[in-house]
Amino acid sequence: MKQNISDIVNSILQELEARGLTQSTLSLYRHGLFEPIIHYFIENSDGKYDQEILSAYLTKYQNALKCGDITRDHYTRVKRVLHYITSHAETGVVSFTDIRQTKKFVPSANSQAIIKNALSNTELKDEYKYKLDSILRKFFCYTEGKGLNVANITVDDIRGFINHVRTSNAGSMGYVTHALNVLLTYLRAESMAQLEFDSHYLTPKASPKKVIEAFTKQEIASMLSCISTSTSLGKRDKAIILLACGTGLRGIDIVNLELSDINWKDGTIAIVQSKTNHPMIMPVNGQILNAIADYILNGRHRSDSQIIFLCDRAPHTALRTTVLDATISRLSVKAGVVKKHYRSFHSLRRSFGTWMANEQIPITTIAQLLGHKDLNSSKPYLSFNDKQMLNCALGFADIPLKGGVYA
C-alpha cells in the first residue's frame, strides 16, 4: 500500500526539528519546499508517494534551472528534500547524508577519511559540516595537485591555499578559515602533522556591512496606487503591504498570521515571533485593520484554514515568503520604483524602523515595536538619517575666522 506523501513530510519535519532547526527554518522548509511537492503529488497521484512522480517533479526543476527560472541554490534545496522523501519512503528512515552523485573536488580516499574524522571530532551540525567538507576537499585537491601529503604540508601551503580561494570563495572566507582550523586541530591531536602555527592567523577580517536602503513613503504610496482593490489579489496585496509598513512584522510572521491573532475591539495583533519564539502584542491602526477586514470579508477564498492570507490560486493554502518578495518586485516594476540592490519585502520592516527614527522616536521604543530585546538588533533596520546627523555637526561660533571663504 502506497504511503501518503503528507505523512512522509510530517515525519521528515519532526526529524529536522529534532536535529535542532529553528521554527522559522522549519516553516521555510514546510511552506517553501514541501508544500509544492505535496500539491504536485495530490494533482498527479492522489497524494500517494510514487517514485515516478517524484522523478518527474525533479525533472521539472532541472528544466527550470536550465531556463534560468530558479537559482542553483533553490534547485539544490529541492533536490535535498526529495532525497529526504525517497529515503524515508523506501527505508523508513530519513537519510541526511550528502546526496550529490558527483563532486567537483574529489581528493584521495586517505584525504577523505581524514576529513571525515576531523569533522566527526566536532559538535557542529550536519549542515555546517557539509559546508566545511566541501572546503576541505578543495584544500586536499590543492595540496595533492602540488604533490604534497599530510606530513609535508607547510604554513606556506596553507597561506597559498587561502590566496588561491580568495576569489572563488570571496563571500565565504569565514568558512574557509574555520575549516582549516578544524583540520589543523585534528592533525596536531593525532600527531599527523607538526605545524607550528598560530590559528589566529586564520581569523578573517570583518565582513563589510551592507547599507540597505529603506523604501520611502512616496515609493510605498506609488506601489499602493498600482494595486487594484477590485480583485481578491489586490485586496490581499494592499492589506499585506499596509500591515508590513505599519507594524514592521517579518514576512514569516505575516504569512503565518491567523484569524484569532487579531483583536478587532482593542485594535491589536498578538503573535509569537517565528524567529525568536518571543510573544509580542502590537497596536494596529484603523487603515490597516480595514484593509485586512476588506480582504477577509470580500476577497479571501473560502477555506477551513485559520491562516489569514491565502494563495489566490487553488488550492488556496498559506502563502510562502517568496510570494511576498515576488509581490514587491512586481509592484516596483508597475510603479516605476527602482529595485535597488538587496531591497526586498523585508525592506518594508526596515522602512518601518527608519520612518520612526526620522520622527525622532527613541530607539528603545523602535526596538520594542520591532520585537527586539537587544538594541543592537534594531540598528541595521535604521537607515542613515541626515536630518538628525546635522544636529551633531559643530558650528563655527567658537572658531575664530579671520579670512578665507568663511569670513
Indicate if 378 and 236 belong to the same structural domain. yes
Indicate if 244 and 269 belong to the same structural domain. yes
| Residue 43 falls inside a structural domain | yes
Indicate if 228 and 345 belong to the same structural domain. yes
Cell of 78: 529541492
Q: For the chain, percent helix, then strand, then coil, each to nearest 5?
A: 60, 5, 40
Indicate if 159 and 300 belong to the same structural domain. no
Strand (E) or helix (H) holding 112? helix 109-120
- Cα–Cα distance, 391 to 407 (Å, whole number): 23
Indicate if 333 and 378 belong to the same structural domain. yes
Structural domains counted in the chain: 3
Indicate if 39 and 165 belong to the same structural domain. no
Contacts of 401 (CB under 8 A, 6+ apart): 407
Indicate if 135 and 69 belong to the same structural domain. no
Q: In CATH, what number is assigned to the domain containing residue 259? A: 1.10.443.10
Indicate if 222 and 337 belong to the same structural domain. yes
pLDDT tens digits, the chain, 407 residues: what are they? 678 999 999 999 988 888 878 888 888 888 889 999 998 888 888 888 888 888 889 888 888 887 777 777 788 889 999 999 988 888 888 887 654 444 678 888 889 899 999 999 888 887 788 889 989 999 999 999 989 888 888 888 888 898 898 888 777 788 888 898 899 888 888 888 777 666 565 555 555 566 677 888 999 999 999 999 999 999 999 999 999 999 989 999 999 999 999 999 999 999 998 888 889 998 999 999 999 999 999 999 999 899 999 988 877 888 888 889 889 888 998 999 887 777 888 888 888 888 887 777 777 777 777 777 665 655 655 555 555 555 555 565 665 656 555 44
- What domain range is 334 assigned to? 217-389
| Residue 274 falls inside a structural domain | yes
Q: In CATH, what number is assigned to the domain containing residue 147? A: 1.10.150
Question: Which of 147, 174, 202 lies at the terminal end of a domain, its last residue?
Answer: 202
Among 37, 52, 31, smallest CA distance to 6 is for: 37
Indicate if 293 and 233 belong to the same structural domain. yes
* C-alpha R_g of the chain: 26
Please give the model's pTM, rounded to 2 decimal places.
0.51
Indicate if 139 and 175 belong to the same structural domain. yes
